[in-house]
Structure 1
Amino acid sequence: MATEATTRERGTVGAFVRQLGPTWLAGAIAAGPATMVSLLIAGASFGYALLWVVVCSAVLGTVGQYLATRLGLLTEAGIVTVVDEHLGSFWAWVLVIDVVLAAGLAQLVIMKTLAEVSAAIVGDLGIAVLADPRIWGVAWAVVLAVGLAGGGYRVAELGAKVLVSLVVLTFVVAAVVVPIDPAQAATGLVPQIPAGVGGALVAAGVLGGAVHVTLLTMQSYTMRARGWTRRDADAATFDVVSSMLVAFGLYSLAIFLVAATVLPALGVDPGTIDQIGAAEALGPVAGEYATWLFLAGLLGAAVSTLGGNTLVPPYLLADKLGWERSVEDHRYRTLLAAVALLSAVGPFLGGAFFQLLVLVLAFGLVGTPFALAVILVLLNDPDAVPETNGRVANAGGLVLLLVATVVAAEFVRDELATVTEPLSAFVVAFAAAMVLAIVGLAGTYYSSH
């Protein structure tokens, strides 16, 4: 809870800066390896054509986190508890399953990324015996489980964030150095899904980096951990805008604009782009060290994001089951360790992690409209919140819901072309289940009002 000092200073920028936190955690997860790779592939594949999605991701990501923050402030409880109390246990379980599937797939692919990057780094150093990603997957899973269950993972995350910050700073510098064509870039502000293989997937991946079901649902829990209430509304708004709109927006624009300017000019093949090809985007600034710097940043982003992502399924499940969301509760601690250890399966997945990272965000975007619908329903229910949404907040929420649904639908439509493949079939089935859930939720809400 706020101290007397911060209460007296409430409303000043200095006080806000000292209180920053909950949405910056969401922003750190959003700025993970999947978002970085999605932006690089978007620029390499389609030049500036998807700039509108990059801008929308920052703006709409801010709207989404604001609505999730508002719900948390007004209810002062975790979102699953609120759904359980006001919409029913069934809808609470649907939300939990939605999040667990999205976060679970992300966990496996991010661990695959971390393991393969780790193996590549030691392989380049000549340590052949440790160049097997599967060994690194098991090792990192143990580190993750022991660190999170014992509270010691923060040291690894701190070092990881330093590496990520260094890479982001390099991209920002590169954005100043490389010859970005403003007039040509401006053409990318016209909404369109580029024709060709992967256009809808990449657009969904870029948007999914900021508008994601895990970010929306975890917001109430990080706020509760900070002790924020309705009295902290101004600080919470500042937190959302500064982290998602400003920091994440600059991060996204810098990476995308550099990739869209440098990679096509170098002739990087978007169909086969990997970490080595993507690293060339840093060439104008880092020169011969570009690959090493990029790999270090990718590793840091994976380590940092895994720490936050691992918490998501245990948090929501513990909330639904009535457990303490603390390692002091052995049931929560066991579940947390289990999620961490299961991520060791990631390196055994087939396919290139570069492309799988984009798929992870696109898949998460498919599950996001249901979470948005839940948040909007609750924010307009006077039995759930003491102050329902105004017209502006509802308009922003509906625009966000519409854009997320349209972009996700374009991705799912592309998956229908390969629905005989297991992964595409799973995506389509998941999308169909989410559509039914939204329709059922709307029916439940209107029948009770």
Structure 2
Amino acid sequence: MTADPSFTRSDPAPEVAARPTHRVRTWLWGPAFVAAIAYVDPGNVAANLTAGARYGYMLVWVLVAANIMALLVQYLSAKTGLVTGQSLPELLGRRMRRGPRIAFWLQAELVAAATDLAEVIGGAIALNILFGVPLLWGGVIVGVVSMALLSVQSRHGQRPFEFVVMGLLLIITIGFMAGLFVSDVSWGDAAAGLLPRFRGSESVLLAASMLGATVMPHAIYVHSALARDRHGHQPNELPRLLSATRWDVTASMIVAGAVNIAMLLLAAASLQEATGTDSIEGAHAAISSTLGPLVGTLFAIGLLASGLASTSVGCYAGATIMSGLLKVRVPMLARRAITLIPALVILATDVNPTWALVLSQVVLSLGIPFALAPLVRLSGDRTLMGRYANQPALQIISWVVVALIVALNVALIVLTLGGLA
């Protein structure tokens, strides 16, 4: 890996990046909240509800640990984009030979495909719950609406896109947390769930799924571009921008973490004794039956907002990855249409959509080290980052996070393939 002596940003894809500002805006928050949508997508819903319904409060610790990791990871990604003026995919694309670069892009695209699969399926399930729309047509509707959301970014720039996504995040927060206030949560058991432990191979599978749904690879890639594209490359303003970014990331991760933990607590309190909760539809029916139709409706609305917002951000991330690694610029709407196909195929078959969501999150978990290890390496490189490179203590903590994630994935593979109970 060679050093980049200058911090000159490469030209982003026209439809991926908004024009940078040439002065620091008064309101600096926003990019982290867009990235945070990845942390409350339908994959999170499937993984968290399944974990709570099957294991109660036992896996609360996974969400807490994952959210702490996410806070660190997203800040490093945003910092790298601001300091270098380049996205993480661009930095990697400049430093890799052609063969490794294509291989790296293929695994990143697989991760992006898994992300999109979960988001479209989740939105389709929500439309089916709310309006009885068949799953296949629901997937088509989600794809069309996501194209409309992406057109906001393409035509009006990043700031209006941020406002739209943050509005959807508010709806998601209300929808997924409403039931928590009327459910009988055992706070003592929830506190006991902070003790790390597993119970058989399936609990490891769910933990990996929850991790993959929380620390999402495509969010790692895209946050560097979101921060760079919003603020431009302004070396003289970096202290102020980085300070604002820390607050941006902290606030967004608190919101995302609260929503995820609320989902697991809701399932642990209300769904353990219910039947048919192995699907999102069944969980919704149980929530409506136990906590009332209003809570069930708010949950479904939150799920729909989650699918619409996250699939738009996921497509944005996919375009960032392709542009940075391959220097190929596919029109955003064309990419949206192509990446919609796998999800529609799943929805047209007899595959259990909820289980497909959970497995997609496992794929994401396996892809995390490929995004995270280069990020830690680059953000700690003084020849690239200058005085903003990670300090030794932060670099050590970052590598420990990478090691923990890899260890969980190795355990997942060994236990699942070995069939241990």
Letter in 2 for 1:20: W
Query: Which residue in the other structure is 1:250 paired with?
Result: 258
Contact 1:323 1:332 in 2 (8 A): no
1:365 maps onto 2:369 in alignment:
no
Counterpart CA distance in 1 for 2:183 and 2:58 is 18
Moved more, 33-42 or 87-96: 87-96
Give CA-to-partner distance per residue, 1:319-350, whole Å, 9 cap, x none: 234356xxxxx755543443346653342254
**Residue type of the alignment partner of 1:64:** V
Aligned to 1:378: 378
Alpha-carbon offset, residue 208 of structure 1: 1.5
In the TM superposition, 1:128-143 aligns within 5 A as 131-143=133-145
Matched, 1:97 2:106: yes
| Correspondences of 1:142-181 after superposition (within 5 Å) | 142-145=144-147, 148-149=150-151, 151=154, 160-161=168-169, 163-171=171-179, 174=180, 176-181=181-186
| Cα 1:180–1:135 shift into 2, 3 Å | closer
TM-score normalised to structure 1 length: 0.77
Q: Distance in 2 between the 1:68 and 1:366 partners?
A: 19
Partner of 2:249: 240
Q: Of 82, 87, 90, which residue of structure 2 is paired with 1:73?
A: 82
Residue number in structure 1 paired with 2:208: 204
- Which residue in 2 is equivalent to 1:114? 123
**CA distance, structure 1, for counterparts of residue 279 and residue 327 of structure 2:** 45
- Taking a change above 3 Å as real, the CA distance of residues 294 and 146 of structure 1, as seen in their structure-2 partners, is closer
Name the structure 1 match of 2:404: 403
CA shift at 1:78, angstroms?
1.4
Equivalent residue, structure 1, for 2:191: 186
- 1:24, 1:243 within 8 Å by CA — same for their partners in 2? yes
Equivalent runs, 1:317-332 vs 2, <5 Å: 317-322=322-327, 331=331
Partner of 1:9: none
Q: Which moved more, 1:94-103 or 1:363-372?
A: 94-103
Stretch deviating more after TM superposition (364-373 or 99-108)? 99-108
Q: TM-score, normalised by structure 2?
A: 0.82
Q: Does residue 56 in structure 1 map to residue 65 in structure 2?
A: yes
Q: Which runs of 5+ in 1 are unaligned?
A: 7-14, 124-130, 325-329, 419-449
What is the rounded CA distance, in whole Å, between the counterparts of 2:224 and 2:98 in structure 1?
18
1:272-325 deviation digits (Å, cap 9, x = unpaired) = 3442334534666x513343332222222111111111222222112234356x
- Report the Cα distance in structure 2 between the residues aligned to 1:384 and 1:104, rounded to whole angstroms: 31
Q: Does the 8 A contact of 1:108 with 1:345 survive in 2? A: no
Q: For the aligned residues, what is the CA RMSD?
A: 2.9
CA contact (8 A) 1:369 1:401 kept: yes
- Residue equivalent to 1:421: none
Contact 2:52 2:268 in 1 (8 A): yes
Q: Is 1:157–1:303's contact at 8 Å kept on the other side of the alignment?
A: no
Q: How many aligned residue pairs are there?
A: 388
Aligned partner of 1:25 among 28, 31, 34: 34
Q: Which amino acid aligns with 2:50?
A: I
- The residue aligned with 2:392 is 391
Distance 1:289 1:401 in 2: 41
Deviation at residue 252 of structure 1 after TM alignment? 1.9
Deviation at residue 91 of structure 1 after TM alignment: 4.2
Q: Which amino acid aligns with 2:194?
A: L
Cα distance in 2 for residues equivalent to 1:273 and 1:168: 16
Q: Specify every segment of 5 or more residues in structure 2 that has no aligned partner in the other structure, as ranges.
A: 1-19
Tell me, in whole angstroms, the C-alpha distance in 2 between the residues paired with 1:4 and 1:318.
Answer: 26
Aligned to 1:189, the other structure's residue is in SS state coil
For 2:336 and 2:184, how far apart are their aligned partners in 1?
A: 47
- For the structure 1 residues 351 and 381, does the alpha-carbon distance in structure 2 shift closer, same or farther, using more than 3 Å as the test? same
Q: Which amino acid aligns with 1:164?
A: I
Give 1:97 deviation, angstroms: 2.0
CA contact (8 A) 1:137 1:345 kept: no
Q: 1:206 & 1:407 partners in 2: Cα distance? A: 11
The farther-off stretch of 99-108 and 142-151 is 142-151
Distance 1:369 1:158 in 2: 28
Match of 1:422 in 2: none
Give the Cα–Cα distance (whole angstroms) in 2 for the partners of residues 179 and 195 of structure 1.
Answer: 27
Q: Distance in 2 between matches of 1:319 and 1:73?
A: 16
Query: How far is 1:99 from its partner?
Result: 2.0
Which residue pairs with 2:11 in the alignment? none
Q: Which has the higher contact order (CA 8 A, sep 6+)?
A: 2
Aligned residue for 1:276? Answer: 282
Letter in 2 for 1:403: L
Aligned residue number for residue 297 of structure 2: 292
- Asked whether the equivalents of residues 284 and 300 of structure 2 are also in contact (C-alpha less than 8 Å), the reply is no
Distance 1:195 1:342, change over 3 A: closer
- Name the CA shift for 1:148/1:337 in 2 (closer, same or farther; >3 Å): farther
